[in-house]
Amino acid sequence: MLNMIKRLLEMLFPWNNNTNSRSHAKSRLKLIIAHDRASINPDMMEAMREEILDVVARYVEVDREEMEFSLCNDQRMTSLTANLPIRQIKRMCELKEQIKENKSLDLQQIEITEIELEAEVKPNKTSI
Amino acid sequence: MSRIIVVTSGKGGVGKTTTTSNLGAAIAKQNRSVALIDADFGLRNLDLLLGLEERVVYTAIDVLAGECRLAQALVKDKRLKGLVLLPAAQNRNKESVQPEQMKKIATALAKGYDYILIDCPAGIELGFRNAISAAQEALIVTTPEVAAVRDADRVIGLLEAEGVNKINLIVNRVKPWMVEENKMMSVEDVLELLGVPLIGVVPDDEKVIVATNKGEPLVLGEYDSLPAQAYLNIARRLEGEKVPFLDLMANQGNLLTRLRRMFGG
Ligand SMILES: Nc1ncnc2c1ncn2[C@@H]1O[C@H](COP(=O)(O)OP(=O)(O)OP(=O)(O)O)[C@@H](O)[C@H]1O
Ligand SMILES: [Mg+2]
């Protein structure tokens, strides 16, 4: 009898019980689907890896052999982790040289990065 | 231009055959010609759901073996003008057909019908590859359950890889009262996860099972029922019509939900 009353109350006030299996299902699926998609599509992962590497390699010299690139799942989220050991950071003039060659890049955007880079470099110089 | 559409899901038992038969009948009801292909070799069911099992003489295998012409194997539905079924063989296994052969049959049928609906078997093996070989479009059937949604996502990925990019989703067996109580994922939840356009929502309804028992598609006997409306709406949306989705909760205004609303739920 007590059980029946409890069930009735639960039916009347579903927000009282915290067994929200709907959101549970959804969050579990989000994770598992992200993982499935990544593992079905190694071509896409490889393409993404190459593209990211190309962008990074414009600015710094990375060790392509030593790098790691992986999709990880923990309890709450799926994340893309790229571990790119840097051999050397390029000089500004080298960068400009490359940019001239690569016409697809927006020169204006590069100007901005240059300023920012310099700003970061300055304190270093003074400390020497 | 005729359209070749595969009805698929990955997971078994989510309602592919039920969808193919009822949607096929709904399309015919809209005065379009439609050929249904049962691609579930060895486990044919589509003839049963349509109530055509006694009239099956030849199957797709006989056509492929050259034992009859394609037109001879087609079973015409006497209740619905323009609806025909190409039955699958029951005594052979899935391995007896190859994707190229299925493609030949579907393409040949496309010359004579507005729609070709292919009822895909469960799984992602040869039977699946056969069923999708000729498809230009896909209808993904899923239920709002974790395993079905996961498999649906997998199948969508495989279809995209095969160049089938026109993919629409049917969410089947929705129980609105469970969604309201947060015990089942909503159609919106499923859509958000799968990221393909929605073309239909079919409630979980006893009438679907009763119609199956009788071998009578819903649009024939129970045409004003909610699930029959749902199938008719899918048929109209396939034609490009903008049809609002049914309010599945409308008929669920029982004492319990009304009480709950009174309490501000
Ligand atoms: N909307 C619905 N409401 C109630 N019952 C349903 C509904 N849709 C399907 N069913 C039931 O679910 C069961 C499985 O349906 P069906 O045979 O169409 O699935 P399937 O995906 O074709 O299965 P398989 O993978 O074995 O081919 C049947 O008993 C059917 O009556
Ligand atoms: Mg089936």
Q: Atom 9 in ligand 1: which residue has the minimum CA distance?
A: B15
- Domains of chain B, each with CATH number or no CATH: 3-262 (3.40.50.300)
Length of chain A: 128
Buried-exposed string B56-72: b where 16+ CB fall within 10 A, e elsewhere:
bebbbbbbbeeeeebee
Min Cα distance B256 → chain A (Å) is: 7
CB contact under 8 A, A23 and B263: no
Q: Which of B143, B180, B181 to mutate to test the interface with A (most CBs of A within 10 A)?
A: B181
Distance CA A31, CA A72 (A): 10
Of B146, B154, B161, the CB nearest to A25: B146
The three-state secondary structure class of B96 is helix
Helix pair angle (A2-12, B255-262), 10° resolution: 70
Distance CA B122, CA B40 (A): 8
Q: Which pTM was predicted?
A: 0.80
Give kind and range of the element (H or E) at residue B5.
strand B3-8
User: Distance from the CA of B202 to the center of ligand 1, in angstroms?
Assistant: 12
Is pLDDT of A106 > 80?
Answer: no
This complex has an ipTM of 0.81
Q: What is the DSSP code string of chain A?
A: -HHHHHHHHHHH-GGGS---HHHHHHHHHHHHHHHHHHHH-HHHHHHHHHHHHHHHHHHEEE-TTT-EEEEEE-SS-EEEEEE--EEEEPPHHHHHHHHHH-TTS-HHHHHHHHHHHHHHHHHHHHH-
Residue percentage of chain A with pLDDT more than 90: 6
pLDDT of residue A116: 45
Chain A positions in Cβ-Cβ contact with residue B184 (cut-off 8 Å): 21-22, 25
Q: How far is CA B217 from CA B97, B115, B207, in A?
A: 28, 17, 10
Distance CA A82, CA A68 (A): 6
Q: Residue B123, class by beta-carbon neighbours within 10 Å (0-12 exposed, 13-18 middle, 19+ buried)?
A: middle
| A42-84 residue pLDDT tens | 777 788 888 888 888 888 888 888 888 777 666 556 677 888 8
User: Distance from the CA of B247 to the center of ligand 2, in angstroms?
Assistant: 27
Distance CA B12, CA A37 (A): 20
- List, in order, residues 6 or more apart from A85 with CB less than 8 Å away: A62, A63, A66, A67
Is pLDDT of A108 > 80?
Answer: no
Is pLDDT of A14 > 60?
Answer: no
Q: Which residues line ligand 1 (CB under 6 A)?
A: B 9, 12-18, 40, 45, 121-122, 172-173, 202, 204-205, 208-209, 212, 227
Distance CA A13, CA A89 (A): 62
With CA atoms as reference, report the closest residue to B23 among B251, B211, B149: B211
Instruction: Please give the span between the terminal C-alpha atoms of chain A, in angstroms, as a whole number.
Output: 83
Distance CA A94, CA B6 (A): 55
Q: β-strand A78-83 against A68-73: which pairing, if any?
A: antiparallel
Distance CA B33, CA B84 (A): 8
Q: From first to last of the 265 residues of chain B, give the pLDDT tens digit.
A: 799 999 999 999 999 999 999 999 999 999 999 999 999 998 999 999 999 999 999 999 999 999 999 999 999 999 999 999 999 988 766 667 899 999 999 999 999 999 999 999 999 999 999 999 999 999 999 999 999 999 999 999 999 999 999 999 999 999 999 999 999 999 999 999 999 999 999 999 999 999 999 999 999 988 899 999 999 999 999 999 999 998 887 655 555 655 665 565 4
| B34-72 residue pLDDT tens | 999 999 998 999 999 999 999 999 999 999 999 999 999
